[in-house]
């Protein structure tokens, strides 16, 4: 089955589209990557998303408009992926949508809202669409996140030592997969969220992120600001736990800077980079991690990767490219897998990771042009994900081809 995964994370920088051929082989899920592309949000829409994110007040009208515009943008990305990555023939689209609110109260997730109405995708592609993947886990008492933990578990199970996957998006999340115990997953705290907020604020919106970590590399960590930020109670809460930009936003950073002024932007960036590294490393140490497989835009920041490596002596740090998943496409591919499991009648959550009472069949399915014709429910649930090269006939040439990143800094410590 050819599946397209669509994802935009809390950084709302781009829609990541990835395509994979997936099939079940006994207790293995076999995936070959067909390609991936990153489609940056148009500046106006990006602005529109930023305008409804917490702590901003918004209106139902603004939310309705965005739901449509995001749905249309995801539909464009899907059409593009069908043509460019699947030679015009795909079977299923899985759309994460754009998270605009992750409602956490007293450590319990009570709701999570992703915009991007799937009808636009189904209308544009004629394909069935799996969407709203998080809600069912929330209804089952889970955090609704990190949902990629199910895919990380399939991928990392059986690796030597204590393997973990780390995604450095706006928020950082880890999945720890010990050999002889249940996996755990949680958000460790901000990855790029506060870094991006600082850059945007202090450059008057002319820059969006600390490109290649140059600001952080030029600055010095302010011990007082770091200590203040580390007082955040979230870091001490036990897993399962998740967070978002509802907590780690610009006013949060500005309040810390008001209490501990740091005049130089470079020093603020150095401190925030260290904050991410320390909170990631604390989480890894608490779970005895020996190998860390890193993905997400944060892998493109050498200062951040160096800082994480420095905080974790003795831990093998590598990017997800090394295990077959391009760093930018990993989450989109993970959602492709989750939707594939859904249409095969297979639950796709790990309760020890999300904290749910039980595992769940995820998502809502919007029919394509024809009535839904789902495969028969699979008899055996996969226990492993095997990534194999795509058949030559389905490989696409050019920049969209899915291969380990060549543009990312050489952050592969193997």
Ligand X SMILES: Nc1ncnc2c1ncn2[C@@H]1O[C@H](COP(=O)(O)OP(=O)(O)O)[C@@H](O)[C@H]1O
> Interface with ligand X includes 210 (CB under 6 A)?
yes
H/E segment holding residue 177: strand 171-177
Name the minimum Å distance from CB 162 to Mg ion: 28
339 counts as binding Mg ion under rule CB under 5 A: no
Query: Which range in 71-79, 189-197, 224-232, 346-354 contacts ligand X by CB under 6 A?
Result: 189-197
Nearer to Mg ion, 11 or 188 (CB): 11
Question: How far apart are CB 207 and ligand X at their closest, in Å?
Answer: 11
**How many chain residues bind ligand X (CB under 6 A)?**
19
- Specify the stretch interacting with ligand X by CB under 6 A; choose among 110-118, 148-156, 190-198, 351-359: 190-198
Nearer to ligand X, 164 or 294 (CB): 294
Of the two residues 132 and 210, which places its CB atom closer to ligand X in the complex? Answer: 210
- The binder of ligand X chosen from 5, 10, 101, 321 (CB under 6 A): 10
Q: Per the structure block, which two tokens stand in for 178? A: 């010990």
User: What is the phi/psi pair of residue 11, to 5°?
Assistant: -75, -15
Give φ, ψ of 210 to 5 degrees. Answer: -85, 85
Stretch that binds ligand X, among 90-98, 253-261, 293-301, 372-380 (CB under 6 A): 293-301
Q: H or E element: which one contains 352?
A: helix 351-354
Site for ligand X in 320-339 (CB under 6 A): none
**Shortest reach from residue 169's CB to ligand X, in Å:** 3
Site for ligand X in 152-181 (CB under 6 A): 169-170
Retrieve residue 190's tokens.
Answer: 């901000």
345 bridge partner residues = none
Binding residues for ligand X (CB under 6 A) = 9-11, 13, 169-170, 192, 195-196, 209-213, 296-298, 300-301
Q: Contact positions toward Mg ion, by CB under 5 A? A: 9, 11, 13
């Amino acid at each position: 089955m050819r599946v397209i995964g669509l994802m935009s994370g809390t950084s709302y920088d781009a829609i990541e589209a990835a395509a994979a051929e997936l099939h079940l082989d006994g207790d293995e899920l076999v995936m070959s990557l067909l390609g991936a592309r990153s489609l940056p949000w148009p500046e106006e829409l990006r602005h529109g998303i930023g305008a409804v994110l917490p702590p901003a007040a918004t209106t139902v009208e603004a939310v309705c408009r965005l739901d449509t515009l995001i749905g249309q943008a995801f539909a464009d990305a899907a059409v593009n992926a069908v043509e460019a990555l699947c030679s015009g023939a795909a079977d299923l689209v899985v759309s994460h949508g754009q998270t605009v609110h992750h409602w956490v109260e007293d450590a319990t997730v009570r709701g999570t809202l992703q915009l991007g109405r799937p009808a636009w995708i189904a209308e544009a592609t004629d394909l069935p669409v799996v969407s709203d993947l998080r809600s069912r886990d929330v209804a089952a008492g889970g955090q609704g996140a990190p949902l990629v933990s199910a895919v990380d578990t399939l991928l990392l199970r059986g690796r030597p030592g204590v393997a973990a996957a780390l995604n450095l998006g706006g928020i950082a999340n880890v999945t720890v997969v010990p050999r002889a115990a249940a996996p755990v997953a949680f958000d460790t705290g901000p990855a790029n969220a506060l870094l991006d907020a600082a850059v945007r604020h202090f450059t008057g919106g002319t820059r969006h992120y600390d490109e290649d970590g140059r600001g952080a590399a030029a600055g010095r960590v302010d011990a007082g600001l770091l200590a203040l930020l580390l007082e955040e109670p979230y870091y001490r809460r036990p897993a399962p736990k998740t967070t978002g930009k509802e907590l780690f936003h610009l006013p949060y950073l500005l309040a810390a800077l008001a209490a501990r002024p740091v005049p130089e932007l470079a020093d603020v960036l150095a401190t925030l980079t260290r904050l991410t590294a320390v909170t990631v490393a604390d989480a890894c140490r608490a779970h005895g991690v020996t190998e860390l497989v890193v993905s997400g835009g944060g892998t493109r920041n050498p200062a951040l990767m160096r800082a994480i490596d420095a905080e974790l002596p003795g831990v093998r740090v590598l990017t997800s490219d090394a295990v077959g998943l391009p760093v930018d496409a990993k989450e989109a591919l993970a959602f492709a897998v989750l939707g594939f499991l859904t249409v095969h009648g297979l639950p796709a959550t790990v309760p020890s990771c999300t904290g749910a009472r039980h595992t769940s069949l995820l998502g809502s399915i919007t029919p394509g042009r024809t009535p839904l014709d789902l495969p028969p429910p699979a008899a055996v649930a996969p226990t492993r994900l095997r990534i194999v090269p795509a058949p030559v006939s389905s490989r696409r040439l050019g920049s969209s081809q899915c291969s380990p990143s060549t543009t990312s800094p050489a952050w592969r410590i193997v």
